[in-house]
Structure 1
Amino acid sequence: MLRVRRNDAGVGAVAWLVIVALVVVVVVGAVYYVRRPVAQAPQQLDGTVAVLGVWGGGELDSFLAMVKPFEDATGVKVAFEGTRDLNAVLTTRVQGGNPPDVAMLPGPGQVAEFAQQGRIQPLDGALDLSAMQEQYAQSWIDLATVDGKVYGVFIKAALKGLIWYNPKAFAAAGYQVPETWDALLQLTERIAAEGKTPWCIGLESGAASGWPATDWIEDIMLRTAGAQTYDQWYRHEIAWNDPAVKRAWELFGSVAADSKFVRGGVQGVLATNFGDSPSPMFTDPPGCYLHHQATFIQDFIQKAYPNLRPVEDFNFFAFPPIDPNVPKAVEVGGDIAVMFKDTPQSRALMKHLTTPEAQAIWVKRGGALSPNRKVSLDDYPDPLSRRAAEILTSADIARFDASDLMPEAVNNTFWKGTLDYVQNPARLDAILANLEQVAQEAYKK
């Protein structure tokens, strides 16, 4: 869901293709090390460090808990500004000469862009990179490396391609977890035929409305066209109106654009905020039975319903395979801390965010996976979080969120196109033709 612009140099710079299975392993693997901080204990600095990101609600609470020990130890106040329109706000501030000290970017594409523009600072002077290599697999480091210099650090990760449900509601209705796409569609049709609503989908996210639909399409692409075509798609080595791309849209639309399958009909899909959309699964009677979203949505569910217990009251299953000839694949995302202003306060915060001690704070609160391999599996607060790790380690193929690597103009058009498509599926050819036209221009830059 990141708004980015990249050129071919940026693709190589972030070393995208190394995100295959090695990235999967580092999210949850190698947890047997003795913990050791990346740097010495922070010195007393005082002052303020301004941080810009997308988080609000429970995510923001977890970030603030993550930096509280840093504030206590250094005297530095972390002033966080959250906006769902991160790309526009950040671009405006950078162009106006007023960037934040530190920003949290939801993908590697914009790291490459800002690094190539000389807007963000390399971290070789801020972090002990040799110690960092002991805690992160090289693949994670490479994703935030541009022209041989490290410019960012992943502070949390998410497993995408999950379908959430209410186990008690499933059992009461006699439903079984589907193991294939066809079985998922059959379950969808059965629920609707019983006069109930199968899916809760919410695409509203302010200026970023539509991004949850892009995750659907990306998950489908991985399971129908495979990883190689997926890579060609985000690089624009195949056209937007390629049959493989069109098919992914159509399969998404077979659920999301059918009013009998979604809560509130199509207009409900468009008007419902992504963070609120799973809540009706837990009403009596259930307002829906299925919800597609990444691991972070657990935080939203538990904030809305604090008494719900993971596994017993809410659970997930992996987005099922579609083409049996395509190896099992997962989609991952992550948040990268970058430093716009090289100040003692910024450096100290970056050091803190990199440590397993800091990342374990968010992990223990739920809703996040840590890319730091010294964060123990024992730090995960519930079986769901640990099972997310197991899904990652069993995947044959892993890919980073494709839209996080697309040019800004293409990504914005992608979001808007999904909203248009859900309202009017007959316009798909026109939507894809427009995306192709935008892409042809954007990838020249």
Structure 2
Amino acid sequence: MINRRATITAITGLGVAGLASGCLSAGSTNNSNSDGSAATGPGKKTVSVMYGLGPDTEPGFKADVKKWAAANGITVDFIKAAAWDTEIRTKVQGGNPPDVGLFPQPGLMCDLAKQGKLVAFDAATVATNKETLVPGIVDAGTCADGKVYGLPNEVSVKSVLWTDAPAFKAAGYTAPKTLDELLTLTEKIKADGKAPWCIAAESGAATGWPITDWLEDLVLRFAGPENYDKWVKGELKFNSPEIKPAWEYFEKIAFGKDNVRGGTKSIVATNFQTGGNAMFAQPPGCYLFKQATFVANKGGFPDSVIAKLDTTTGPLPFPAKTEGDNPVLIGGDIAAAFNNDPNTLKLRNFIASKENGVEQAKNGAFSPHKTADVSLLPNKTLQTIASDVLYKATAARFDGSDLMPAKVGAGTFWTEPVKWISGQQDLNTTLTNIDDSFPKTGS
């Protein structure tokens, strides 16, 4: 998970745009039973699964699948993609897709489903999973035809504020429960002569994507889940009265004088993985950092912090607009089948089931199922995020930029905010430019 965005980077705009334009017509897979029913016969003895999982998730995933495969008399061929979008495109174009694919981007998955490349889940399997999945997660794998083509293997939680727990407590600060309280806390920290925030958006050729996580979380809160869905589909404009307040709130945080360590323009020059590490300096360089849970893995927070995560950090739920409301923003890898071979569908269904994920949890990955045993997670910090943020969510929504057309989600939604934050253009220009880039219906 920690390296997912790095594998997307600049190739996404080319690779996924090609998918969306229908260039995958060659080598069509025979998916005549697209209602989710399996083909007749005993099924393949070897089933392939392709994924782009990072080093924090891959070992547990392989262990879980191998245990299931051994019990079912199946051999699994694991294919790791260094650049998921490019490699899956090449395989599908060549008529040689894997049996099962783990998609980090539901939008790409639905592009392929529209072209008849994927097999939908059957209604009974969807109903069974829906009983235990966090509300809203099934929607992420549901495509325009109303069928569910993908369900998640694991998820990361993005609606988290990180603190240095001892420093935060010593300064007398308390967790904000609402967005208004978060603004009040920001002002209090600043009044104490300290920098409230570390905000980081540098990611090489993908610089800007971390800001999308901020804005998606805020859209969920200001506009609500239903309007969030309309927004990612292009039915609500970025500059609409429903969506713009999220940007205006972020502007208060990121553009406020002395709110951000290094100033507003430093945001796009500060690395997204290590940008919060200044919290742990003496004295702290900032007191708040918003980032997904991957930052608590190696390559994110300093090793010395990760080694004592439960005492060094104090993660807080990203506040609601109104106390009691609890939407959560997630990312993850969604399992989909490229054919209706019985064993292909069995493997896909296991990956999406509540029975999967035991070994992954031990390595710090969150199951999307509320029935998961949180005690399997390796520390109290992750256990608390699972129980208090993810599993108490009133509605979960998948990363919006991953759901949008690639030209926007991995294009202007990354690049236009960078220009805004850098002082090259104002907010209205930023929003209008993104809206103008959104593909028109039917195009």
Q: Same fold (TM over 0.5)?
A: yes
Aligned residues: 403
Question: Paired residue for 1:329?
Answer: 327
Specify the alignment match of 2:441 in structure 1.
443
1:193-342 matches, within 5 Å, as: 193-257=191-255, 260-300=258-298, 301=300, 304-305=303-304, 308-322=307-321, 324=322, 327-340=325-338
Structure 1 residue 227 displacement after superposition: 3.2
Amino acid at match of 2:210: P
Per-residue deviation, residues 215-273 of structure 1 (Å, max 9, x unmatched): 21122222223334333322333322223322221221332345733334445422333
- Residue 380 (1) aligns with residue 377 (2): yes
- Contact kept? 1:59, 1:299, Cα under 8 Å: no
1:19-73 deviations in whole A, cap 9, x for unaligned? xxxxxxxxxxxxxxxxxxxxxxxx9957x846232x3343445445545646887
Question: Would you say the 8 A contact 1:101–1:346 is kept in 2?
Answer: yes
Letter paired with 2:383: R
Contact 2:99-2:338 within 8 A present in 1 as well? yes
Quick one: which amino acid aligns to residue 141 of structure 2?
A: A
Is the CA contact 2:44–2:344 (under 8 Å) kept in the aligned structure 1? no
Partner of residue 365 from structure 1, selected from 363, 376, 382? 363
Q: Report the CA distance between 1:167 and its aligned residue.
A: 0.8
Q: Give the Å deviation of 1:423.
A: 1.0
Report which stretch shifted further, 114-123 or 138-147: 138-147
* DSSP 3-state at the match of 1:420: helix
Deviation at 1:194, TM superposition (A): 4.5
Q: For 1:182 and 1:373, locate their aligned partners in 2 and report how far apart those are by CA, in whole Å.
A: 29
Q: 1:312 to 1:112 in 2, by over 3 A?
A: same
Measure the CA separation in 1 of the matches of 2:132 and 2:219. 32
Alpha-carbon distance between aligned partners in 2 of 1:145 and 1:233, rounded to the nearest angstrom: 16
**Structure 1 CA distance, aligned partners of 2:373 and 2:228?**
32
Matches within 5 A, 1:426-441: 426-439=425-438, 441=439
How well do the aligned residues superpose, as a CA RMSD in angstroms? 4.0
Q: Which residue of 2 aligns with 1:353?
A: 351
Name the CA distance, whole Å, in 1 between partners of 2:136 and 2:223: 24
The answer on whether the counterparts of 1:58 and 1:303 sit within 8 Å (CA) in structure 2 is: no
Q: Which residue of 2 aligns with 1:80?
A: 80
The correspondence of residues 27-38 of structure 1 with structure 2, limited to 5 A, is none
CA distance in structure 1 between the partners assigned to 2:169 and 2:323 by the alignment? 31
Q: Is the 8 A contact 1:144 1:152 kept in 2?
A: yes
Offset at 1:369? 1.9
TM-score scaled by length of structure 2: 0.75
Unmatched segments (≥5 aa) in structure 2: 21-42
Q: Which runs of 5+ in 1 are unaligned?
A: 8-42
CA offset at residue 203 of structure 1? 1.7
Q: Which structure is higher in helix share?
A: 1
Measured after TM superposition, the shift of residue 168 of structure 1 is 0.6
Q: CA offsets per residue over residues 150-197 of structure 1, 9 Å max, x none?
A: 532311123332111111111233322233333323333443455543
Amino acid at match of 1:378: S
- Aligned residues: percent identity? 36
Deviations 1:371-404 (A, max 9, x none): 2455323323333333332334544444333333
Deviations 1:257-310 (A, max 9, x none): 457333344454223332222333223333322111233333345773365434
